[in-house]
Amino acid sequence: KADPGWKYCHSLVEGDTNTIVCNFCGKITKGGITRAKQHLIGKSGNVAACKKTPPNVIEELKEYMATKKSGTTYSTSGSGNMANIRDFEFGEPIGCDGSEEDEFADSCNAAASAKTKCGTKKGPMDKFCKNPENAINRRKMEMLRQMNIRESMDKNEVLKVHQHIARFWYQAGLSFNLIKLKSFENMVAAIGQYGPHLPIPSYHDIRVPLLKKEVEYTENLMKGHREQWVKYGCTIMSDAWTDRKQRCIINFLINSQVGIMFLKFVDGFDFVKTGEKLFELLDAIVEEVGEENVVQVVTDNGSNYVLAGKLLEEKRKHIYWTPGAAHCIDLMLEDIGKLPLI
């Protein structure tokens, strides 16, 4: 990590160069070392400024960024993109750090604008030089320019591909909302970058090894959350709802400085009947997360939850029970609706 910005910040999770923690104020930024340096020097627009950065550090980083901007050029074809090869599975850079993100984005812009003047030349190494995220960003930039005759003719080919995607959607009985998932967009981009003759994963692949890798990937993502629970504390949030089969499901989520993490769901049929039973459930969740890590527990404002919250506060003195604002407002509006018209 040659970038001097790494002297004044560090990765939230080992090996993750995208989520960065400031050494001076502890603020967590996303966007690599470039965004972290903007936070350190107080550059407005993209991120809040650090109020604890020493003046000499600000000058050092400003000088480095100015030198980097004026003295570095990047090629937009051939081997120039090799520094940006990424692991498709986890989206992590190989052989480069976050300080090159903006420069690479500039090279993508230059390539997109040059495409209107001459055709794109592709070689056998091209499919290794772009990742799905860059392909998506480039496609969005190209959508802003006027289509030429060739591209308008390709619309029929696009419709054919879309029809195949739709047919798979209908046969699998998938929810239409899944089309909005970022992971679906990344999947399509990755397939496009690989090109033709992509081998389809087998039943065994999708069921065993790929599933294990995804579980490991998710656990690594959550490791950063758990570390922040110990450092800054967290809030346990419960959300009870009823599914189509009239089963009571209680979701438990953990909110911390890094964001919200889904912990687990519980069949609440045996718990929602009394406040004492709910208390047993909440107490078990607190024990699972770690009492020393929990600041407060947020639940609905029903009478059974109120009792459970009071019992929890009596047992665990430093934990606060808080009724959820949304449920409180909902009850207020229901009471207002019962008022007679004047």
Residue 117 confidence (pLDDT) = 43
Inter-CA distances, 256 with 155, 291, 323, Å: 46, 15, 18
Q: Which homologous superfamily does the CATH classification assign to the domain defined by 217-337?
A: ATPase, nucleotide binding domain (3.30.420.40)
Residue 133 confidence (pLDDT) = 63
pTM of the predicted structure, to 2 decimals: 0.49
Which tokens belong to 134? 């860059």
Cα dihedral value 218, 224, 229, 234, nearest 10: -60
> What residue segments make up the domains of the chain, in order of their start?
4-146, 217-337
340: burial class by Cβ within 10 Å (0-12, 13-18, 19+)? exposed
Residue 243 confidence (pLDDT) = 82
Residue 176 confidence (pLDDT) = 95
Using DSSP's 3-state secondary structure scheme, residue 170 falls into helix
Which tokens belong to 303? 């009478």
Residue 14 confidence (pLDDT) = 81
Question: Which three-class secondary structure string do you get for 105-141?
Answer: HHHHHHHHHHCCCCCCCCCCCHHHCCCHHHHHHHHHH
Q: Check if the beta carbon of residue 269 is closer than 8 Å to that of residue 248.
A: yes
Q: What confidence tens digit (pLDDT) does each residue in 183-237 have?
A: 999 999 999 888 888 999 999 999 999 999 999 998 888 888 999 999 999 999 9
Measured CA to CA, the distance from residue 291 to residue 318 in angstroms comes to 9
Measured CA to CA, the distance from residue 308 to residue 314 in angstroms comes to 10
Measured CA to CA, the distance from residue 323 to residue 16 in angstroms comes to 36
Residue 331 confidence (pLDDT) = 79
Report residues of the chain scoring pLDDT below 50. 72-121, 127-128
Residue 107 confidence (pLDDT) = 44
Residue 242 confidence (pLDDT) = 85
**Dihedral over Cα of 285, 287, 288, 291: its sign:** positive
